[in-house]
Amino acid sequence: MSPLTKLYGERTEEEKYEYFMERIEAGEKIEADDWMPDEYRMALIKLISMHAISEIMGALPEKEWVPKAPTIHRKLGIMAKVQDEMGHGQLLLRVAEDLMKPYGKTRENIMEDLFSGKLKFHNVFHMEAPTWADAGIIAWLVDGAAIITQTNMLNASYGPYSRALHRICAEEVFHAQHGESIVLALAEGSKQQREMLQDALIRWWPSLLMFFGPKSAATTGSSKQDITIKYKIRTKTNEELRQDFLTKYVPRIRSLGLTIPDETLRYDEENKKWIYKEPDWNEFKKIIKNQGPKSMERLTLRRIAYDNNRWVREALQ
Amino acid sequence: MVEKDQKEHGFYEVFEVFSKRSHTSPMQYQFSLLAPNHEMAFILAQENFMRREPVVDLWVVKRSDIRKMTEEERDLLKRLDNKSYRLTKGYGYLRKKWREYEQRMFDEKEIFSWGETGDDKRKKRTGSKAK
């Protein structure tokens, strides 16, 4: 008997699961208070809390450049971007909190998991941003990579996340253009500016490839991509997203006369695939375990802000 | 407000009704109605506003629970047009620049199309409506 012919309250757990899968197959959206399998809830909590925290940790390397931006216009631009990132963190933390409610958990727990190392943040935000060109490359290519993964989830089966992503991606369009604007100014600037840009690209290239995650769990020991695809949270694999990124960005990077630090990089017409040098996945594992060049410094910065504001949270309770 | 509403309508309270036309559309404000409680407000909302159009979700909110802005407060929402650094229109010159490098501009339309599946693209081409 199809679960639909039975009253909602009389359905067994299996029938609820079957109905749930029918709903997502039909393109319906699951809402916060709807029945959902634990595996789905756990995968969403992990994905969205990591995304939320990465927005906030991602604002840290960029905010270093607010006081040092070269012109008032650039300063206003990068300030607006940092503000957006914190705003995205807030949107996503709310989505995660609603999912964690049945477990009695809140954003406090997310923050504590970040400090204890249990909750990871994106590999790119563990890295250094020593020059203004790094700020440009982050906004252009790191945000470009984020746009590739996030647009892939615009139609996610979980309604609140899908809606948050629509808003986030619309703002990311501005981020990407802000990045292009910085990069083009440097690319058309003095010899020194072009060299600075080229150096930043060399610094960021392996991190950009790592951004999309390993091809499969075999590379790094764990990967949630199969579960998120099964539940229509996303549609493409890590590797498909990396290929999309290369297709969209390699020609643009090269058009500016920049050299990508990978002599093996080429498009294989026959197999319709980019061939590239694998980044060092052992390095990736170390970075996301908070052993990257800036991991501890940025976590400490976050912890200081958290501790300094503790009295406000306590006073409000 | 509650007292005033109850004085005006006695048994009834004013409810504001919001509904969603499809799973992907936003929650939209419909209109208000009078009802004695939330449950009746649901029934009346369907009778009043959803006799024909499709609906997948419905919210009813007591008007007294909504803090609306006053006319004076709304006046403060007006913006000065001095935030081009924050808007994509402030970066419109990039289109021409990228053309010089024989590259296309990644604007909002282009970027949002990256999220479409093969299915969406086929539907767009054949002109049939998405579900």
Digit-coded pLDDT (tens) for A226-237: 899 999 999 999
Give me the mean pLDDT over the B56-85 stretch. Answer: 92
In this predicted structure, the answer to whether residue B129 has a pLDDT above a threshold of 50 is: no
Q: So where are chain A's domains?
A: 1-30, 36-315
pLDDT digits (tens, 9 = 90+) for A117-172: 999 999 999 999 999 999 999 999 999 999 999 999 999 999 999 999 999 999 99
In this predicted structure, the answer to whether residue B7 has a pLDDT above a threshold of 80 is: no
Give me the mean pLDDT over the A61-82 stretch. Answer: 93
Look up the pTM and report it. Answer: 0.89
Phi, psi of B60, deg, nearest 5: -125, 135
In this prediction, residue A8 carries a pLDDT of 79
Chain B residues with CB under 8 Å of A242 CB are none
Q: Do B114 and A244 touch (CB under 8 A)?
A: yes
Give me the mean pLDDT over the A273-281 stretch. Answer: 96
Confidence of residue B83 (pLDDT cuts 50, 70, 90): confident
Q: Do A154 and B97 touch (CB under 8 A)?
A: no
B21, B2 Cβ separation under 8 angstroms: no
When CB atoms are compared, the residue of B26, B94, B101 closest to A256 is B101
Q: Which domains does chain B have, with CATH numbers?
A: 2-65 (3.10.20.520), 83-120 (no CATH)
In this prediction, residue A4 carries a pLDDT of 58
Rg of the Cα atoms in chain A: 21
In this prediction, residue B79 carries a pLDDT of 86
In this predicted structure, the answer to whether residue B131 has a pLDDT above a threshold of 50 is: no
Q: Do A235 and B117 touch (CB under 8 A)?
A: yes
CB proximity B89 to A under 8 Å: no
Tokens 């594992």, residue located: A285
CB proximity A34 to B under 8 Å: no
Q: In which order are the strands placed within the sheet that holds B57-62? A: B28-35, B13-20, B57-62
Chain A residues with CB under 8 Å of B21 CB are none
3-state secondary structure chain A: CCHHHCCHHHCCHHHHHHHHHHHHHCCCCECCCCCCCHHHHHHHHHHHHHHHHHHHHHHHHHHCCCCCCCCHHHHHHHHHHHHHHHHHHHHHHHHHHHHHHHHCCCHHHHHHHHHHCCCCCCHHHHCCCCCHHHHHHHHHHHHHHHHHHHHCCCCCCEHHHHHHHHHHHHHHHHHHHHHHHHHHHHHCCCHHHHHHHHHHHHHHHHHHHHCCCCCCHHHHCCCCHHHHHHCCCCCCCHHHHHHHHHHHHHHHHHHCCCCCCCCCCEEECCCCEEECCCCCHHHHHHHHHHHCCCHHHHHHHHHHHHHHCHHHHHHCC
A20, A228 Cβ separation under 8 angstroms: no
CB proximity A181 to B under 8 Å: yes
Please tell us whether the domain made up of A36-315 is placed in CATH 1.20.1260.10: yes
